[in-house]
Structure 1
Amino acid sequence: MSAISERRERERAQRHRLIITAARELAETEGWEAVTTRRLAERVEYSQPVLYSHFNGKDAIVSAVALDAFAELAAHLHRARQDAAAGPGQALRAVGGAYLDFAVQRPALYQAMFILPTDLKFASTETPAPMRACFEEFVACFPPENERRELFAEVAWSALHGMAVLSESGRIPSGWQEERLDLLVTRFAGTAP
């Protein structure tokens, strides 16, 4: 590859990153309704055709933001699990708490990851690495000798997602989130947290 080709590729990667960052910032400050190709083009100071040369519409931009967010969440869950005490259920308690905190603190990212339409697939050979890393943090909360630990991880993650979405929408009181998490951990770990 020539020096000119390498430079063009670097510039393209920088533009790509700039668009993702602008979409993320706009969504976090004004909501996803504000993220349009016109607004993004203005914000990054490129034409809409340049945006379309990187992303095939808003859903593709949401997918790119979601992948960034999954990488961030995976690191957040990993730190929480590593910092957890060694007692039964402590890893699940730490990961569950970190997951719920992320959903509350980063609602626009959480929407991109789990609510808005994307082409991202879970539990597939096409599942991107950041998404697999998040799931692996849940799996790691259960003992290796548990032959059904992936099933336990799926159900725990599903329950936490339900808590996050129902709490955010006001359908269940957010003030009971710790108690719900304690119940989840108690039932899955078989001991009180």
Structure 2
Amino acid sequence: MGIAERKSRERADREDRIVAAARGIAESEGWEAVTIRRLAKEIEYSQPVLYSHFENRDAIVAAVAIEGFRELAATLCAAAEGAKGRREALTDLAMAYFDFAQSRPSLYEAMFVLPTQLRFAEAETRPELRAGFEALAAAVSPFCADAEIVTETFWAALHGLVALERAGRIRPGMRDERIALVVRAIVDAGGHSRSRG
């Protein structure tokens, strides 16, 4: 292994440690506990070393979010692969989305709530962000002509329901019924009969 390759690998390892530490602190104490000073202490690097990898805390949050989008895409793809039909794939994806958000609240917060420079629906959108959208679009597309707008709406509905449920703003115990309504709206929006699902 050459010197340049070794240094590159060491840099990547340090970045992985920083991201893992940020995620660990956020999961146990919340994002407000994640500071550059705390991370430096946690992983035993100086603050200038952290700043040599990440411009600021928001950049670290973005790196955590990117990991989250990678994990979300894998979760959604696995849910769709296990489905017995197209309508079931939509339902399974929606359930998997909820399970992901509920089981990883700090990660979900990094992905969708905290400020980052990550951009969606643009030419520069990172592939990790696109992968989750594409997993949803693959399940939505059999039911509509314009899969992009319907997928955006499906994702927005799921995110809205997750946010309201997490905040205790909607009645508990009604998730299955809400998901069924969203899935029915997607299926019906395409003009397909219910029997085709």
Aligned to 1:65: 64
Cα distance, 1:145 vs structure 2: 7.6
Would you say 1:127 and 2:125 are equivalent positions?
yes
The runs of at least 4 aligned residues of structure 1 exceeding 4 Å deviation read none
2:18 aligned with 1:19, yes or no?
yes
**1:35 aligns to what?**
34
TM-superposed deviation, 1:177:
1.0
Structure 2 length as normaliser, TM-score? 0.93
What do the CA deviations read for 1:112-168 (whole angstroms, capped 9, x no partner)? 000000000010111111110000011101245832111111100000000000110
* Alpha carbons 1:73, 1:134 under 8 Å: kept: yes
| Structure 2 contact 143–187 (Cα < 8 Å) conserved | no
The 8 Å contact of residues 168 and 174 in structure 1, kept in 2 or not, is answered as: no
In structure 1, how many angstroms separate the alpha carbons of the residues matched to 2:99 and 2:172?
12
Equivalent residue for 1:183? 181
Aligned residue type for 1:72? E
Alpha-carbon distance in 2 for matches of 1:58, 1:78 = 30
Partner SS state of residue 141, structure 1:
helix
Alpha-carbon spacing, 1:98–1:145, altered in 2? closer, same or farther (3 Å): closer
Other structure's SS at 1:142 match: helix
The corresponding residue for 1:173 is: 171
RMSD: 1.5
User: d(CA) in 1 for partners of 2:51 and 2:172?
Assistant: 40
Deviation at 1:6, TM superposition (A): 1.5
Shift in Å, 1:91? 1.1
2:105 to 104, 107, 111: 107
Partner of 2:151: 153
Task: Give the paired residue count.
Answer: 191
Partner Cα separation in structure 2 for residue 188 and residue 174 of structure 1: 23
Structure 1 residues without counterparts, runs of 5 or longer = none
Q: Distance in 2 between the 1:56 and 1:7 partners?
A: 23
8 Å Cα contact 1:37/1:51 also seen in 2 = yes
Question: How far did residue 183 of structure 1 move?
Answer: 0.8
2:10 aligned partner, one-letter code: E
Q: Which moved more, 1:6-15 or 1:137-146?
A: 137-146
Contact 2:35–2:57 at 8 Å: present in 1 too? yes
Instruction: In structure 1, give the amino acid aligned to 2:163.
Output: V
Deviates more, 1:2-11 or 1:88-97: 2-11
Q: Distance in 1 between matches of 2:115 and 2:157?
A: 21
Any stretches of 5+ residues in structure 2 without a counterpart?
Answer: 189-193
Identity of aligned residues (%): 50
